[in-house]
Amino acid sequence: MPDSAALDHTASLVVDLGDRSYPIYIGTDLLKNTELLARHVPGDTAVIVSNTTVAPLYAEALRVGLSAFKNVKLVVLPDGEQYKSLDTLSHIFDALVDAHCDRQTTLIALGGGVIGDITGFAAACYQRGVPFIQIPTTLLSQVDSSVGGKTGVNHPQAKNMIGAFYQPRCVIADIRTLYTLPDRELSAGLAEVIKYGLLWDVDFLDWIETNMAKLRARDEQALRHAITRSCAIKADIVNQDEREGGLRALLNLGHTFGHAIESGMGYGNWLHGEAVGAGMCMAADLSHRLEWISAADLARVNRIVTAAGLPTQSPADLAIETLRDLMDNDKKVQGGRLRLVLLHGLGSALVTDKAPEELLLDTLRATHAQPSPL
Ligand code: NAD
Ligand code: GLY
């Protein structure tokens, strides 16, 4: 029977992709919700993929939620962005083959964006595709990576270079899992929340600015609103452009700068959200040089990112030339031309390959001062 207490507190959205549509559940006490899980796990075998940090915290509760299933297995991976690799992926395949998992096996990602991305890619590839569920446990994964079907692993020189679009059967975001998240990781998630306000919804940006202290204090209602509005914006964009033919590229605001910082510093040294925080300020700086946003808007972007506890500048010990070279590894590069997501006013973004190289270098020089390590 449905756990009505849990369902009553669950705000649901739908990613609308025809016969691949799926719900997003946002609420509390969802991991143990047997009815909810049974609704979305076909077959009788489920494999939970988690890591050494998250499994001890939440795998048992999820096992309780999966008590209706005959076979429940747990694969525990090492924790860290540096393990989002082809090597780690093959450990998942080894575990699935060793356990004779068939095509009816559902893979359940229990963790942050690293676990979600790698498990989703494993699900896309194993026996050419098995069912997959996202149970994101970081703010970043609840507002962004669990929604929209981007899965994959890193190449040593280029973030997320190997992967597939593969949609989950559902996303289950339990807000209370965020209570065990380190502060630094919460801030990293706020980067993606700010991103939605900057690129799509200036009213939401106002709300984020006003409620930043509550968000950082993990006020449940504030988190619920931030997650719900973020997922709604992401779903709206993915519904229109699932495979990033155009519009979806806007979701990469700050990411061309950020991915270069992440790979340049060595995966895991700067968190993805930290690199995106600095990257958004760098994108805002360049947008201001192009006279697309005012000096006051640029200052406001820096203020909001700072208030979230995030860096606003690239690391001083990553050479500007290296940073610039790494930006050319971005997936948005087309025909050798760098394409950047920039702001055109707050709440509005565009993709352009027209930013003059000299202005880009001015931005890289002007935003190159963040002491490291963070
Ligand atoms: P992460 O997965 O590394 O998680 C951050 C840290 O928090 C890890 O140490 C993890 O073990 C720990 N953790 C997770 N949940 C916890 C909890 N509830 N309590 C305590 N600790 C917990 O990092 P992330 O920020 O969640 O995700 C970043 C990754 O997501 C990057 O690889 C990025 O490229 C990817 N990403 C993907 C998409 C997409 O659309 N697929 C979008 C944005 C980011
Ligand atoms: N995080 C970027 C995207 O999902 O498209």
Q: Is 304 in the pocket of ligand 2 (CB under 6 A)?
A: no
Task: Quickly list DSSP for 223-259.
Answer: HHHHHHHHHHHHHHHHHH-TT-SSGGGGGGTTHHHHH
Ligand nearest to the CA of 181: 1
Structure tokens at 263: 């790979």
Q: Is 191 in the pocket of ligand 2 (CB under 6 A)?
A: no
Closest atom of ligand 2 to 248 CA is 5
Task: State yes or no: pLDDT of 362 exceeds 70.
Answer: yes
What is the model's pLDDT at position 368? 94
Ligand 1 centroid – CA 137 distance (Å): 8
Q: What is the mean pLDDT of residues 67-73?
A: 90
Which residues does ligand 1 sit against, CB inside 6 Å? 51, 53-54, 57, 79, 81, 84, 111-115, 117, 137-138, 140-141, 144-145, 148, 150, 159-160, 177, 180-181, 185, 188, 272-273
pLDDT per position as a tens digit, 10-66: 447 999 999 999 999 999 999 999 999 999 999 899 999 999 999 999 999 999 999
Quickly tell me which residue has 């993929």 as its tokens.
49
**Spatial separation of the C-alpha atoms in residues 21 and 44, rounded to whole Å:** 22
Q: What is the mean pLDDT of residues 181-210?
A: 98
Q: How confident is the model at residue 68 (pLDDT cuts 50, 70, 90)?
A: confident
Q: What is the mean pLDDT of the chain?
A: 94
Reply yes or no on whether 220 is catalytic.
no
Task: State yes or no: pLDDT of 370 exceeds 80.
Answer: no
Reply yes or no on whether 40 is catalytic.
no
Q: What is the mean pLDDT of residues 207-215?
A: 98
Q: What percent of the chain has pLDDT over 70?
A: 96
Q: How confident is the model at residue 369 (pLDDT cuts 50, 70, 90)?
A: confident
What is the model's pLDDT at position 6? 42
Which residues neighbour 81 within 8 Å (Cβ) at sequence distance 6 or greater? 114, 154, 262, 267, 268, 271, 272
Which residues neighbour 102 within 8 Å (Cβ) at sequence distance 6 or greater? 45, 127
Ligand 2 centroid – CA 192 distance (Å): 10
Q: Is 148 in the pocket of ligand 2 (CB under 6 A)?
A: yes
Range with lowest mean pLDDT among 190-204, 270-284, 329-343, 354-368: 329-343
Q: What is the mean pLDDT of residues 234-250?
A: 97
For 100, left (φ over 0), alpha (ψ -120 to 50), or beta?
Answer: left
Domain 4-180, CATH class in plain words: alpha beta
Domain residue limits, the chain = 4-180, 183-366
Q: What is the mean pLDDT of residues 300-309?
A: 98
Closest atom of ligand 1 to 114 CA is 2
Task: State yes or no: pLDDT of 83 exceeds 90.
Answer: yes
Reply yes or no on whether 32 is catalytic.
no
What is the model's pLDDT at position 158? 81
Does CATH number 1.10.240.10 belong to domain 183-366?
A: no
Q: Are 27 and 41 in contact (CB under 8 A)?
A: no
pTM of the model: 0.95
What is the model's pLDDT at position 127? 97
What is the model's pLDDT at position 7? 42
Q: What is the mean pLDDT of residues 337-349?
A: 97
Q: What percent of the chain has pLDDT over 90?
A: 89
What is the model's pLDDT at position 62? 97
Q: Are 242 and 19 in contact (CB under 8 A)?
A: no
Instruction: Out of 32, 40, 224, 255, pick the active-site residue.
Output: 255
Ligand 1 centroid – CA 111 distance (Å): 7
Decide if 4-180 and 183-366 have a common fold.
no
